[in-house]
Amino acid sequence: MIAYLERFVHGNDVESRQADEEDDCSSLCDALDLQGSIDCVATGLAGKDFGGVYSFKPLGFVKPANSDDVARVVKAALRSSNLTVAARGNGHSINGQAMADRGLVMDMRSMEDHFQVVRINGTPYADVSGGALWEDVLKRCVLDFGLAPRSWTDYLSLTVGGTLSNAGVSGQAFRYGPQTSNVAELEVVTGKGDIIICSEAQNPQLFFAALGGLGQFGIITRAKVELQPAPDKVRWIRVVYTEFEEFSRDAELLVTRQENDSFDYVEGFVFLNSDDPSNGWPSVPLDPQQAPFDPSRIPATAGSVLYCLEVALHYRDTDHPSTVDALGSSGRCRTQ
């Protein structure tokens, strides 16, 4: 039986409290019998996240080897009156959601490297671990199979389970929906520690609750993500606006056009009308080797922020060169 021992320690008895917590962590580690491990000392990373607003010291940093380890940790919390558990992907939460104050934080990236391309009714899917980074999934799909996820996030150093627990929005969402709309099946560890396979047809309530559920209905440990043929070439463009009305008008125009009469990727962002290296003019060029952004082209009437549309068009090696060079002319990419 797993037991979490609660001791009363005076608030100012820091050394005693730390020693007791380390003893509790060691005891719990032995009782859990994980295939992975628990670090009761080097827990600094588990007490931080991208937001930097909160910092909580956990009791231990768990490195689960597989879904069974995740289930064991969740069951330990279920049996305890005071032990909390949090799943941490790449720590990109902003309000401490991936932390557990004197609880257990699970490093989902430590899970086994599960990757397989499967077909369901002829459609390819990547069957991947919830702790896998999207950048790794993309590389393996493209290099080994010539395929790519239909929808992903702009920042790819995030875990599959992490973004599927939110939504996963990028410049492809206008066409294919967010990442949560491109999943055929999930493996989820519920709050009771049960490992359940779910989909639209099998355990659908859990399936739709876990997708975008912020981890409140279970921890996603595996997912089947829809793929499509990867492009051979991509033309990538950024267009800067001074007026929000023009920026939003063009964005709406592009995302409402038919698939063969628009770009394959459309999104926008705001940046500072200044030389700030991270958020100003220097952030606009797509490649550091490109010529820098020329602020002399900005009208004197422009405000403190500018707007940028980022678009991309996919090509195949079989496309005729005239098609590739026809951007902005009549046909697929014409704008008004």
Tokens of 301: 């009437």
- The verdict on whether 267 is a catalytic residue reads yes
Q: What residue type is assigned to position 146 of the chain?
A: G
Angle at 182 between CA 176 and CA 187, to 5 degrees: 170
- The verdict on whether 252 is a catalytic residue reads no
Under a CB-based contact definition with an 8 Å cutoff, are residues 61 and 43 in contact? yes
Under a CB-based contact definition with an 8 Å cutoff, are residues 89 and 158 in contact? yes
Q: Within 80-179, where are the H helices?
A: 134-145, 160-164, 173-176
Under a CB-based contact definition with an 8 Å cutoff, are residues 270 and 243 in contact? no
Secondary structure element (H or E) that encloses residue 184, with its range: strand 183-189
φ and ψ at residue 307, rounded to 5 degrees: -125, 145
Distances (CA, A) of 292 to 169, 272, 307: 29, 15, 17
- 113, 144, 154, 325: which is the annotated catalytic residue? 154
SS3 175: helix
CA distance 64 to 33: 11
- 24, 49, 92, 226: which is the annotated catalytic residue? 92
Question: Beta partners for 185?
Answer: 199, 224
The CB density around residue 24, as the number of other CB atoms within 10 Å, is 20
- The verdict on whether 275 is a catalytic residue reads no
Q: Can you say whether the dihedral through the CA atoms of 328, 329, 333, 334 is positive or negative? A: positive
- 49, 69, 107, 267: which is the annotated catalytic residue? 267
Tell which residue, 123, 335, 80, has the closest CA to residue 224: 123
List, as one string, the DSSP characters of 189-238: E-TTS-EEEEESSSSHHHHHHHTTSTTSS-EEEEEEEEEEEPPSEEEEEE
Which residues form the catalytic set? 92, 154, 267
